[in-house]
Structure 1
Amino acid sequence: MLDVQQLTRRYGDKIAVDDVSFTVGDGQMIGFVGGNGAGKTTTMRMTMGLLAPDAGQVLWQGCPASAADRAHFGYMPEERGLYPKQPILDQLVYLARLKGMSAPAARAEALELLERFGLAERVKDKLEKLSLGNQQRVQIAAAVMASPTCLVLDEPFSGLDPTAIDQMADLLRERASHGIPVLFSSHQLDLIDRLCDGLVILAKGRVVAKGSKDELESRGRVRHRLVASTDLGWVRDIAGVVTEDVDGRTALLEFVTPEAQRTVLTEALRRGEVLELARVRPTLSEIYREVAA
Structure 2
Amino acid sequence: NSLFKDNKYVKGFKIEGVASETSRKIQDEYNLTAKKFNLKSYIFIKFINNKLEGSVVKFLSEDEQNRIIKLFSLNENDLLVIGVSNILKTLNFGLGAIRSQLAKKYNLIKPNTYDILWVVDFPLFEKSEETGEITPCHHPFTRPLDKDLDKLESEPYKVYSYTYDIVMNGYEAGGGGLRIYDQDVQKRIFNVLGFSDEDIKRKFGWFIDALKFGTPPHGGLAFGLDRLTMILSGTDNIRDVIAFPKNLSAVCPMTNAPQPVDNDQLKDLGIKVIDKEEK
Interval of TM-score (by shorter of Structure 1 and Structure 2): under 0.3
Higher relative contact order by CA 8 Å / sep ≥ 6: 1 or 2?
A: 1
The alignment's TM-score, normalised by the length of structure 1, stands at 0.23
